[in-house]
């Protein structure tokens, strides 16, 4: 359970940095508390997308992974971020990513910050 909480906090922090750095990734709310709650909901949604959809996409794009020496990972991360944005819109969560290239840059930022957060936060297996 602790591992799940750590990953969710890391995703929330990474998403917050992406929202802060990129104008075309938006997260809205009336006050800071609502924004934080929305950020946690989006982090859970992003984690769910990465848990369910991303492995399937990675298997299907494995030949491209080898051909591009791993650069296709940037595209896959961008697609996962766009899918999260689409699902957030369907669930009436105020999170939006505008455009593919914004998603590519956002995915890169999220990957770097999430990695750093997972290194910094304690990760104890149950």
pLDDT tens, N- to C-terminus, the chain (126 residues): 678 888 888 889 999 999 999 999 999 878 888 889 999 999 999 999 989 999 999 899 999 999 999 899 999 999 999 999 999 999 999 999 999 999 999 999 999 998 898 788 776 655
The reported pLDDT for the residue numbered 106 is: 95
- 95 CB burial (10 A radius; 0-12, 13-18, 19+): buried
CB 7 within 8 A of CB 119: no
The reported pLDDT for the residue numbered 26 is: 93
State which H helix or E strand residue 97 sits in.
Answer: strand 95-97
The reported pLDDT for the residue numbered 4 is: 82
């Amino acid at each position: 359970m602790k591992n799940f909480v750590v990953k969710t906090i890391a995703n929330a922090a990474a998403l917050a940095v992406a929202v802060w750095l990129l104008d075309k990734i938006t997260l809205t709310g009336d006050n800071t508390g609502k924004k934080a709650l929305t950020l946690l909901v989006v982090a859970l949604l992003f984690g769910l997308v990465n848990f369910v959809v991303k492995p399937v996409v990675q298997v299907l794009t494995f030949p491209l992974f080898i051909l591009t020496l791993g650069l296709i990972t940037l595209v896959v991360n961008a697609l996962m971020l766009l899918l999260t944005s689409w699902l957030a819109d369907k669930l009436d969560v105020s999170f939006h990513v505008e455009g593919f290239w914004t998603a590519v840059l956002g995915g890169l930022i999220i990957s770097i910050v999430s990695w750093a957060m997972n290194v910094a936060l304690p990760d104890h297996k149950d």
